[in-house]
Each structure stands twice: as structure tokens, then as C-alpha cells.
Amino acid sequence: MTDVTSNSAAAASLSAERRARRRKRAFRKALMPWLFISPYLVLFLVFTAFPLLFSVYLSFQEWNPVTGLSGMSFVGLANYAQAITDPWLWKSLYNTVWLAIATGIPQHVIAIPIAYLLVTAFRGSFRHLYTATMFIPFITSTVAISLIFYTIYSSNNGILNQWLLGLSSVPVIGALFAWVPDAMPIRWLGSSDLLKPAIAMVVIWKYTGFNIVIYSAGFLTVSKDLYDAAKVDGCNAWQQFWHVALPMIRPFIFFALTLTIIGNLQLFEEPFILTAGDSGGVSQAGLTASYYLYLVGWEWLEMGSAAAISWILFAFIALATSVHFYFNAREGLEGHN
Amino acid sequence: MNKFILTCLASAAISASAASAAEIRLDGFPDFNNHLDKVIPLFAETNPDISVTYQMNNHGDHHKKLTTNLATGSGAGDIVIVDIGFIGSFIDAGGFENLSDATYGADALADGFVDYAWSQGQGADGNQYAIPIDIGPGVMYYRRDVLEAAGLEVEDVITDWDSYIAYGEKLREMDVYLIADAADVASTIIRTTVQPGEGFFFDAEGNSLITSERFVKAFETAKRIRDAGLDGQIGAWTNEWYDGFKDGSVATQLSGAWLLGHLQNWMAPDTAGKWGVSNLPDGVYGSWGGSFLAIPRQAENKEAAWAFVEYLTNNPEAQLASLRNIGAFPVLKETYADPTFDEPIEFLAGQQARRLFAEIAEQVTAVSPQKGDLIAEDVVINGALLEVLNDDKDVMAALRDAERLVMRRVR
């Protein structure tokens, strides 16, 4: 009797052990995928999720980072209230939108026809060479480019002003530039009404090549048959471009526009270098929202306020992008069907 | 096994501490490395148990790194260099050791230092948190050849701002700019005519002084120069700025004494002998820049750090060495008796300029740094002043707008 009970007890414990082992195995199996993605997960948690949540927390605090972590004090919504009534924030948002539009539209208006010409009129090797050339500004360091433009714009010795002067003394077209000698020296970076266009030129120059690459890829996806069919129907070159090629690359336009909107609303390095970091240049004409964010956080050491501004900027970019999605997404994303 | 490792570590730690009692690191920005390279070996002779290393970043990055180090409470060197521009924001934040404390006894050194610089290292509680290491007495550099061509003596030019502007009118006929940027005149007036006990932008209670007479006069004087076309509208530290020094198209520059080192070493070495230096116009005294040493509370070897701070700042040999090594002007008064100060400077046509710098240094009144200084500097000097000069904004309106902006941020 005792034997039987002990035996069955042993069997029970054995099966319990087996069950436990099985559970363990199942658990390990369930854990495996997490283990495999953990390198990414850890990086994501440490470098993305944590800073994001921390900046939410920070936006309700007043914090001079120099005082250490213990120096924070809770101020509720004060940072947001202060930001919303801050004239420099509104000025910077206005500048950001101005620059986004003034640099965004030309980028695409220039890039689309050039890409179309490259794809339809030139052979492969030349096209690759040409696209690569146009791409170089995009992969060059923004800081380096901005420093070079800083020199180009220089009012007394800058090559731009020297060029304009030179043009004014050329026989025929000189008449067009007759105003130049009187206007000299033109202070591209030193007057509030020229600063924004000067910054815009740099941005356009830098990013148009990138868009050309996107659009070239887009035009290459358009099947030759469609052009042939259009030709049979009596379309001229312009009609082929407008009614065939352009509608076919809608998803590419949508993609490129989205990148432009987000990128332009985050503009920082170009205005920062071109204004030599001097609080946004004359009348803050070159102060973009990211630039202001940097000023408040790192120059004025008001991290809480900067965090609040960054969330306002986030809301702003989200709004702009969703407006763009609302109007363009259905057609933009439906592709070739 | 674990025990074994622990024992190993412990013995390693003991032998390490026996080998060198303290390793300290100094965080700063160039050119200090050129000075440190030469004085660290000298320091080691008398302090063989302290080994000093340094970490240099450029001026802006160094202060950003220091900000994050203080924010997180780790990573800062045992000694940090702090530029005068950042002192106001850093000093009352609680990140630095109180050097007035009996362990350091900094207060006993006070009398040896130039007054104004010493008091700039004090916190609002009157304790010493940073020790000055160099200063920048404010002076006017001028082209002797241009002055001669105008038929004037330098004393005629610097009598007051009117005579300074009159010189500019004369220069305009010769196609020479009086100064690279009229904004420098405004900042000179703002920085030199401060009442004792006041800050640059705020009084002792933290009230704004931005719309006071000092700022109005500064802005209006600069505006007169700009409107008369007497300045080149050339920003500092640009290629055009250097060109102006090289080709003599700019006649004067208001600056810290330290500009001399830059002029003769790289900006305009070929113009040696054509330059002179004088007091600032209108009989004002002021300072441009200056650096301080502080010991972060997170530092591990505070005692050794203090020994090196004391050596760098309070040892006449080290102070004179910094003048020779990097042209940083000594802050320790007893060094001014040294014959080095009477040496004629060839670049300045044999002028005994260091004597002048020392005299100026002892005349400068103390201006207390305040925590809103960085914001006010950006909003008033970079913001409002440019709007007045470049965009013709009304002086009073610009100052009132700036004041409102600053005061809503400085809580």
C-alpha cells in the first residue's frame, strides 16, 4: 500500500516534472523571438523610447541642466503657455513655413522636368553620370556647403556680388544689371529681407538633385507601351508628359513631397551656419523652429521650455503632414492600378 | 573564484594608488593645451604624486559637454575651464565646489588677483566658485599709418565718442572704415559704463536695465556711425574681417588685449609695426572675455585638482608662462612688476603695450554675472541691436521689445 502510494506519487511528481520541463521549453520558445530582436529593442528603448518619454516629462518641468537632475521643478503647463505667447516662436514658425514653401516648390518644379528629360532623352550611361553629379550636393556635408555659401554671399569679396558687378559691365546684358553698382555691396546675409531667399537658394541647390534621383526612378517605371499607345492616339511630346508620365509617377511625387515637407520643417544647419549662430540673423529672419529650439535649450539652458517647444513643433509637423496625406494620399498611394 | 578576483582588484587598486596618488583631468578649449603642455611638466617637478592630463574641445562644444556633464552628474574633468560668458549661468547652479570652504581657503588668495575678475567668480551667496586664470583688458587697436595720413594723434581720437566719430568722418574721405562693425561700439558702451554693483543687463535684484540710458546711448552712438557710413558692416571672425586688418581698410578695432596675439600670429602678420594700441575712447574701462577654473562637485580628486588650480592661477611663474605661451593676460597682480611687462612689442611699433594692459586691468570695475546674461546677450546684442542698425528700427521700441522678451524668460 505504501509502495503503491509512493509509486503513484513518484509517477505524479515525474509527470509534474515533465510538465514543468515542457512549460519551460514552451516559455523558452516564446522567449526566443524576443531574444533575437533584442539588439534592436534595447537600442530602441534606450535611444528612442526613453528620450521621447523623458522629453514629455521634461516639458512640464523648469530645468537648467547645469543644476543637475535634482534641479528640476514641476511647473505644469507653464512652458507650453509661455511658448504659445512667445513672439520669437511665432516668428520662427513663420520663417519655417516660408522657407518650406519657398524651397519645397522649386525643388520639385525643377526636378520633375529634368528627371523626365534625363529618362526620355538620354542614354543610360550619360544619365547615370548626370544623376550622380546632381546627387553630389545631397551627400555633401550640409555644414561644408553652408560654409561655402557663406563665403559666396560675402558682401565685399563674395563671388556672387563680384559676378553681378561683372555682369553689369558686359555690353548687351549689362543693361539688365545696371542697378547693381548702386546697390553694392548687397548684404545677402546682413539684411532681413535678403536673408531668407539666400538660405532658400542653398536648400534648393542641395536637395533638388535628390528629388531628381527619385523622379528618374519613377519615370523609369513607366512602361514604354503606354507612350507608344499614346503616340498611336496622336499625343504630342507635351501631352505624353502631362497625361501619361506625370499621372503614372504619382506615388513618387507623394513620397518626395512627404520627405520635403518633413525635412523642410526641420531645417536647422543651413540657417544656423549662414547666420553664424547669431540668434537667427537680422530681425531673426533666419530663425527656424529647430534653430529656436536649439537656442532655448542649449544657449539659454532652458531644457523644459525647449522640450515644450519641440512638442509644439512635432504637433505642427504632424498637422502639416496629415493635411498633405488627406489631400494627396488616396491618389498618391494607389499606384499604378 | 569571486573572492580571488576581489582580492586581485583590491591589491591592484592599492598598488595603483601607491604608484600615483592622484590622476586629474582638466577639461577646456584651445589654446590652453599649448600652455598646459609646457606647464604640466613644471608642476610635476614639485608635485610628483599628481599626474595631470587634459581634454580639449572647441570653445562651444566644451561648454555643451560641460552642460551635459553637470546635468547628469558624471563625466566632467576634475578641473574645468569656464568662459566668462557662461559664468553667470553656471556659477549659482550648484555644480561647482565652494572654494571659499576651509578645505580650499580660496578667500585668502583674493588680494593677489585683479579685483573685477576675482569677484566675477563669486556666486550670489558671496562664495568663490571659480578662480580667474586670464583676463582681457579692453583696448583700442589702431592703424598708425592711417592715423598719420589723417594728420591726427591718437589722443585726439579717443577723447570721447564724438571725437572718435569725427575721426571716422575724416577717414571716409580717404575711403577707410573707422571700424569693421558699428555694433562693437554699442557693446563697448554697454559693457564699460556699468554702475558698480550692477550686472550688464540686470541690477542686483534682477530687474532689467535694458531700457536704461546706458543702452540708449550705446545704440544711438552705434546708429550714428552706421548711418554716416563709417563702418564696414563686417562681422567678426570672417574673412572680410581679416582682410580689413591686412590691407588697412579698417582703421580701428575695439577689443580685448588678446587680439594682439591673433593679429601678429595669423590674421595680419605682414602688418607688423603699423599697429598701435590705446585706451578705449571716452575714457572708459572694460574687459573682453576672460576664463575661469572651477572644480565640479562630481570630481574625484578634488584635493589634487585644487593644487593644480592654485598653481595655474596663483603662481606667478605659471601666470607669466601663459602670457608667453598663448598670450593670455595674467590675472595675478604681482606678475605686473615683472620686466616682461616693459618689453617693447615690435608688432605695435615698439609700444610697451603690456604696461598699458596692466594699468587698464586694475581700472576695470566689477560687473556681476547673472543667470539671464546668455538670453539677454542673444536678444539685446544679437537681436535688437541688429534690428536698429540694419533694419532702422526705432531705438526705444527695439529696447522695449527686447526687454519684454528677456523678462518673460528670466524668472
What phi and psi, each to the nearest 5 degrees, are found at residue B336? -65, -15
Residue ranges with strand state E in B4-159? 22-28, 50-56, 79-83, 131-143
| Positive or negative torsion for Cα B146, B149, B155, B157 | negative
pLDDT of residue A61: 92
pLDDT of residue B411: 64
- Rounded to an integer, the average pLDDT of B7-17 is 44
pLDDT of residue B261: 85
pLDDT of residue A334: 58
Beta bridge partners of B54: B26
Pairwise CB contact (< 8 Å): B71 & A65: yes
- Rounded to an integer, the average pLDDT of B149-161 is 93
Give contacts of A192 with chain B, Cβ < 8 Å: 387, 390-391
State the amino acid at position A334 in one-letter form: E
B143 vs B369, residue with greater confidence: B143
Q: Predicted confidence band at B249 (pLDDT cuts at 50, 70, 90)?
A: very high
CB A264 within 8 A of CB A315: no
Q: Quick one: DSSP state of residue B94?
A: T
Q: Is the pTM for the entire model greater than 0.90?
A: no
Q: Based on C-alpha coordinates, what's the Rg of chain B?
A: 23
Mean residue pLDDT of chain B comes to 89
pLDDT of residue A332: 61
pLDDT of residue A184: 79
User: Can you give the length of chain B in residues?
Assistant: 411
The CATH number, out of the four listed (3.50.50.60, 3.30.390.30, 3.40.190.10, 3.50.30.50), of the domain defined by the range B22-135+289-342: 3.40.190.10
Per-residue pLDDT at B219 exceeds 60: yes
Q: Does B247 touch chain A (CB under 8 A)?
A: no
Q: Does B45 touch chain A (CB under 8 A)?
A: no
ipTM above 0.90, yes or no: no
Secondary structure (DSSP) of B351-392: B-HHHHHHHHHTTPPP----TTHHHHIIIIIIIIHHHHHHH-
Q: Predicted confidence band at B334 (pLDDT cuts at 50, 70, 90)?
A: very high
Rounded to an integer, what is the distance from CA B248 to the centroid of its chain? 26
CB B271 within 8 A of CB B17: no
**To 5 degrees, how large is the angle CA B117–CA B25–CA B11?**
145
Secondary structure (DSSP) of B118-185: HHHTB-TTS-B--EEEEEEEEEEEEEHHHHHHTT--HHHHHSSHHHHHHHHHHHHHTT-EEES-THHH
Nearest to A87 among B235, B386, B405 (CB): B405
State the burial class of residue B200 (Cβ atoms within 10 Å of its Cβ: 0-12, 13-18, 19+): buried
Helix, strand, coil shares of chain A as percentages rounded to 5? Answer: 80, 0, 20
Pairwise CB contact (< 8 Å): B391 & A298: no
Rounded to an integer, what is the distance from CA B9 to the centroid of its chain? 45
All residues at 6 or more sequence positions from B36 whose CB lies less than 8 Å from its CB, including other chains? B26, B52, B54
Among the residue ranges A179-188, A299-308, B223-232, B265-274, the one predicted with the least confidence is A179-188
CB B145 within 8 A of CB B197: no
pLDDT of residue B324: 86
Domain ranges of chain B: 22-135+289-342, 139-286+358-409
Residues of chain A falling short of pLDDT 50: 1-2, 335-337
- Determine the longest span between alpha carbons in chain B, in angstroms: 88
Cell numbers standing for residue B17: 594608488
Among the residue ranges A283-297, B18-32, B118-132, B386-400, the one predicted with the least confidence is B18-32
pLDDT of residue A5: 54
Q: Based on C-alpha coordinates, what's the Rg of chain A?
A: 30
Cell numbers standing for residue B87: 559664468
Q: What is the pLDDT of residues B14-56, one digit of tens each?
A: 444 444 568 999 999 988 898 999 999 999 999 999 999 999 9
Q: Between residues 354 and 383 of chain B, which touch chain A (CB distance below 8 Å)?
A: 371, 374-375, 378-379, 382-383
pLDDT of residue A181: 79
A296 vs B204, residue with greater confidence: A296
Q: Between residues 136 and 155 of chain A, which touch chain B (CB distance below 8 Å)?
A: 151, 154-155
pLDDT of residue B88: 85
Percent of chain B with pLDDT over 70: 95
Distance CA B21, CA B130 (A): 25
Q: Which residue intervals of A221-283 are DSSP H helices? A: 224-232, 237-239, 246-248, 250-265, 269-274
Distance CA B210, CA B190 (A): 10
Give contacts of B237 with chain A, Cβ < 8 Å: 276
* CB environment B348-378: b (16+ within 10 A), e (fewer): beebebbebbbebbebbbbbbbbbbbbbbbb
Separation in Å, CA B62 to CA B76, B299, B375:
10, 17, 19
Pairwise CB contact (< 8 Å): B67 & A87: no
CB A233 within 8 A of CB A243: no
Rounded to an integer, what is the distance from CA A278 to the centroid of its chain? 23
Residue of B nearest to A157 (CA): B240
Per-residue pLDDT at B8 exceeds 50: no
Q: Does A50 touch chain B (CB under 8 A)?
A: no
Give contacts of A157 with chain B, Cβ < 8 Å: 239-240, 243
Per-residue pLDDT at B393 exceeds 50: yes
Give contacts of A276 with chain B, Cβ < 8 Å: 235, 237-238
Tell me which residue of A260, A236, A252, A257 sits closest to A115, measured CA to CA: A252
Cell numbers standing for residue B338: 615683472
B22-135+289-342 matches B139-286+358-409 in fold? yes
* CB environment A208-243: b (16+ within 10 A), e (fewer): bbbbbbbbbebbeebeeebbeebeeeebeeeebbee
Secondary structure (DSSP) of A208-234: HHHHHHHHHHHHHTS-HHHHHHHHHTT
Distance CA A300, CA A306 (A): 9
Q: What is the CATH number of domain B139-286+358-409?
A: 3.40.190.10
- Rounded to an integer, the average pLDDT of B3-22 is 48
- Determine the longest span between alpha carbons in chain A, in angstroms: 123
What phi and psi, each to the nearest 5 degrees, are found at residue A156? -90, -40
State the amino acid at position B139 in one-letter form: V
Q: Does B311 touch chain A (CB under 8 A)?
A: no
Tell me which residue of B331, B155, B180, B160 sits closest to B251, measured CA to CA: B180
Strand-strand pairing, B79-83 and B22-28: parallel
pLDDT of residue A95: 94
- Rounded to an integer, the average pLDDT of B108-120 is 92
Tell me which residue of B286, B289, B277, B288 sits closest to B158, measured CA to CA: B277
CB B279 within 8 A of CB B158: yes
Rounded to an integer, what is the distance from CA B83 to the centroid of its chain? 6
- Packing angle of the helix pair B395-409, B213-227 (nearest 10 deg): 130
B122 vs B371, residue with greater confidence: B122
